Structures are given as C-alpha cells and as structure tokens.
Amino acid sequence: MTETRPEAPTAGVALTAIGVAVIRARESRRPDRLYDDPLAQRFVDAARRSYGEEGAQRWARLEALADTFFEGRTVGVRLVDDRMVAAVEAGCRQIVILGAGLDTRAFRLTLPADVRFFEIDLPELFAFKEPVLADAVPKYDRTVIAADLREEWSEMLRAKGFRADVPTYWVDEGSLGYLGRADALRVAETLTELSAPGSQFGAGRFHVDRNLPHYTELGRLVGGEHHGEGRDLSGLGPDAQNWLTAHGWRTSFRRWDDMVAPLNRPAAIRDAEVGLILAIRE
C-alpha cells in the first residue's frame, strides 16, 4: 500500500507556519532553550517529505529564511507563552488563536485543566496539521475552526462551543499583519463583540521595512495576494491603541526591548515605539 502523506503548504500565508515550526524545532534543540516544543520537529519532517526532491530548492530557501528571522521570532514565541499563562492566571479560561498555524500550546503548556483552546486558520493549513497530530493527545479541550479571518468566522466559533460570557485570551502572533487595514479592523470588531469583561488581547506595534532583503524573500516565497505590490499590509495600523481604547479596552504599552531583555537573547531592536499593546476588556 502507498503511504498517504499530508501535503504541506508551499505558497500563500499558510507557508509562514512551516517556517515558524522550523524555528521552534531549532529552539527546542538548544540546551538553553526558551521553550520545548517536541511536536515542532514532526511538522518539519512531514513538510520536508511533502516538498520532496522537486521542492528541495524551495525548502532550502525556506530554512534559510527561518534562520534569518530566528532570533526575533523565537523570543516572540516565548513571550506569547508567558502572556498566555498570565492571562489564564488572571481568569481567562478560553484561548482563541487567530491564524493558529502549527501552534502546539494546547499540547505543551502547563495550565489549569478547564482551559479551552480554539484555533482558527485556513482549511489548507489544518489539512496538513491535523494528520501530523493524529496520535498526539492535547492536554486541554482543543477545537479547530477552518476559516479565513477575512470572512465570517464568529458563528463557526460559537457553534464549536465558544462562550461570549467567559473571559477569553485572544492570540495574534502576526496574522493580522497579513491583512489589509479594513479586514484587520473587522477582526478586531468581531473579537471585541465576543469578549466578556476581563478578556485580554495583545496587538503588536512594529515598523516593518518590506524592502529589506529578508522581507523581500518572504514576499517571493509566500507570493499570492497577501504580498502583492501596493497592498496595505499594516494590520490594525498605528492607531490601534486609540481604537482599542475607544472600543472598551483598557490598554497599556510595553516596549519590545523591555520584554526581551530578561531572555538574554540578541533580539533587541532599539526602537522605543516598537512593542506590544496589552488590552483588557472592561
């Protein structure tokens, strides 16, 4: 019999999830690792097999690009881990990961047993992810919602058991940055409507020069409409904190360099305007 292998994304924004898995697998091999994600290597191995000999050159480009983004991206994973633990300690019992990619926090973090995970991402991403995880057992209730964030997803989320009366931690590790401003704001409006008091959301504030070589290469690899020339790919944009405050969130701002300093990694960028907007629903 011929073995059926899951097909890894080779283009489009879902491709970035493979690159992040490469980064997480590399971090997990370090003796001074910031986190341990044993499932990341599964994704890397499955994706490499899926690319095969014909895709060897593309795979090499993907790994090289992951190396370029490694230092900043790997500390970002750890920061989200820490914020998630803190949000749960503050009372959030639902975690919704927007553009979940190949996230495995439902399998690896230590949280209270009653926490529920909801992962939202494109159908083609889950078509690869779920077969790879077929024999892995999550530590918490975990539900996937195959949906495009630019389209209607709130009713699917509710239908899968999400409760708008329970405080929720909304996770965005960069997926909103791949959306145009109008689409990103619609996502923010939707999660605001679904957020009980005490819910939390973190919105990144970054300055990205897409003319830098590694961002140019990322655009070439991803391709498609998400990286077309002239598109506004600024996500929630520079007024995100004002928007969140005006829509019932209590906000504060933490500089990126202050957050990464305790991790002792070369990830500082020396820009006081770059960091994270922390938002709590009032």
Rounded Cα gap, residues 15 and 12, in angstroms:
6
pLDDT digits (tens, 9 = 90+) for 31-70: 999 999 999 999 999 999 998 888 899 899 999 999 999 9
pLDDT, residue 47, reads 95
Q: Among residues of the chain, what percentage have pLDDT more than 90?
A: 79
Work out the pLDDT band at 274, boundaries 50, 70, 90.
very high
* Residue 146, strand partner residues: 121
pLDDT digits (tens, 9 = 90+) for 198-228: 999 999 988 666 667 766 777 777 774 444 3
Contacts with 150 (C-beta within 8 Å, 6 or more apart), sequence order: 179, 183, 186
Taking CA atoms, 266 is separated from 21, 32, 63, 152, 259, in Å, by: 20, 14, 20, 40, 12
- Show the domains of the chain with their CATH numbers: 75-281 (3.40.50.150)
pTM given for the model:
0.92
The pLDDT of residue 154 is above 50:
yes
Can you tell me the distance from the alpha carbon of 172 to that of 248, in angstroms, rounded to the nearest whole number? 19
Percent of the chain with pLDDT over 70: 92
pLDDT at res. 176:
93
pLDDT of residue 232: 45
Please give the Cα distance from 142 to 139 (Å, whole number): 8
Per-residue pLDDT of 181-200, as tens digits, reads 999 999 999 999 999 999 99
Average pLDDT over residues 82-87: 98
Tell me the C-alpha distance between 89 and 109, whole Å: 13
